[in-house]
Structure 1
Amino acid sequence: MEFETAYQAFIDHHAALRSGERKGRLIRGHLYAEKLFLQNVWYPLFGHLDHLHPEYEIYDWNRKSQFIDFAYITPFGRFGIECDGFQSHVKDMDREKFSYSLNRETFLTAMGWKMMHFSFDDIQNRPEVCRMLLQMVIGPCMIRNGTTNSAAISAAVMEKEVLRLAWRLKRWIRPKDVTDHLDVDFRTARKWLRSLVEKGCLSPIARGKDIRFYELKEGSLEHI
């Protein structure tokens, strides 16, 4: 499905489910930056808008109603996404608003949300950076919760998680490291590691006739 068709169906669907201020907020608050985020970042990565909620209403510790730009609500977690413009979110923010913003973020974390912020400049000019970071946050949650067969999770996403693990280990990586971290069998772990060798991200290290370890190669960070 083309993005414009999917986007219009997405907005119509959520507008039909709402009334009053919640509907008004969707119409007034979902503007150019939010649509551009979906077009440049989300849709190229996932290819659909399922489980995504625009202008999602939340409550702070005083039960005060607030809205976040997007909520991605799935069986494997709740993710909040904000598209921040420099003018409105930084230059025009006084000390009280700044304090409230930090407290709200901490409160949402305590309530089980994973919050992500993307600048409008990056959404418009460097969407590949936004896609990389979005995938880094959401991908591992999908993997750990047994959704590795989902269409949204490709082999490339799994391999990126293996590379991130290798960077965190700060040493060579073994198939056992992958099996322990991602809860997959040995053959699957070895398949991903060999694929990364073929792509020039890892170098195999042999002990005798067998390959036991893999080392990161220069430039592998670019593939994460």
Structure 2
Amino acid sequence: MNFEQAHQAFIDRHLASRAGERRGRLLRGHNYAEKLLLQNVWWPMFGNLDHLHPEYEIYDWNRKSQFLDFAFMPPFGRFGIECDGFQSHVKDMDRERFSYALNRDTFLTGMGWKMIHFSFDDVQNRPEVCRMLLQLIISPYLLRNKTVSSISPVERDVLRLAWSMGKPLRPKDVIDRYQVNFRTARKWLQALVEKGLLRSIIQGKYTCYYEVRENIPEQLL
């Protein structure tokens, strides 16, 4: 399925599930700029429109209804994505609207959203910049989610051993703990390195120690 087909199916699916103002907002609000963001930025990175919700309704601290251009809502987080045109979002904005826009983003951040803004000019003329920034923001969450689901019970236990020691872990420590041979210990340790959970420390030509990387998901420890 190419982008045009996927996009039409995406819009049809959301229209079919909405009524009233939420449906009307999608019909009125999802226009050229929003479609271009999907085509130039999102589709080249992901190749699908999974977990995306166009013209997604949210509420501010006064229960005032607002709509995000897109909400990306995978199992591991909530991301608000906006495509801002200079004319409508900056040039024509007065002080009150400017303050509200900042306060709204701060409020949503406090409610657990991660807000991502792109300018229409960049989406149209410099989409590679937008893709780089989007990847920078979302990739750590994708990696953590994938890692948590793919790590085996024995790898989790080895990771906990490395964490509890408070110093670099040796293959011998794994051999002594689990009564396995060197080949098996190295296989477990290397698997954790490949998943980004351990860092190998090389002395001379050989890896002698392993240490836990920073920002390990709490559910693994």
Q: Using structure 1 for the length normalisation, give the TM-score.
A: 0.70
Deviation, structure 1 residue 95: 0.2
- Structure 2 CA distance for aligned equivalents of residues 131 and 192 of structure 1: 23
CA shift for structure 1 position 19: 0.9
Partner of 1:59: 59
> Percent sequence identity over matched residues?
70
RMSD: 2.6
Instruction: After TM superposition, give the deviation of residue 145 of structure 1 in Å.
Output: 2.5
Deviation at residue 186 of structure 1 after TM alignment: 3.7
Q: Is the 8 A contact 2:147 2:195 kept in 1?
A: no
Shift of 1:192: 7.9
C-alpha distance 46-89 of structure 1, shift in aligned 2 (>3 A): same
Alignment deviations for residues 78-119 of structure 1 (CA, whole Å, 9 cap, x no partner): 000000011111100000000000000000001000000000
Question: Is structure 2 residue 190 aligned with structure 1 residue 187?
Answer: yes
Alignment of 1:208-223 (within 5 A): 208-210=204-206
Question: Is residue 12 of structure 1 aligned with residue 19 of structure 2?
Answer: no
Distance in 2 between the 1:212 and 1:90 partners?
A: 56
Write the distance in 2 (CA, Å) between the matches of 1:64 and 1:18: 19
Match of 1:94 in 2: 94
- Stretches of structure 1 that go unaligned for 5 or more consecutive residues are 151-173, 177-184, 194-204, 214-224
**Alignment size in residue pairs:** 172
Paired letter, 1:4: E
* Other structure's SS at 1:106 match: helix
Q: Relative to structure 1, is the Cα distance of residues 212 and 73 closer, same or farther in structure 2, using a 3 angstrom cutoff? A: same
Cα displacement (A) at 1:143: 1.5
Q: Following superposition of structure 1 onto structure 2, how do residues 29-68 of structure 1 map, counting pairs within 5 Å?
A: 29-68=29-68
For residues 52 and 137 of structure 1, the distance between their equivalents in structure 2, rounded to whole angstroms, comes to 16
Aligned residue for 1:27, secondary structure, equals helix
- Which entry has the higher C-alpha Rg, 1 or 2? 2
Unaligned runs of 5+ in 2: 151-167, 171-187, 210-221
Instruction: Indicate conservation of the 8 Å contact 1:175/1:190, yes or no.
Output: no
Cα deviation code 1:183-222 (max 9, x no counterpart): xx642465589xxxxxxxxxxx963222679xxxxxxxxx
Instruction: Give distance in 1, aligned partners of 2:147 and 2:38.
Output: 22
Distance 1:4 1:34 in 2: 13
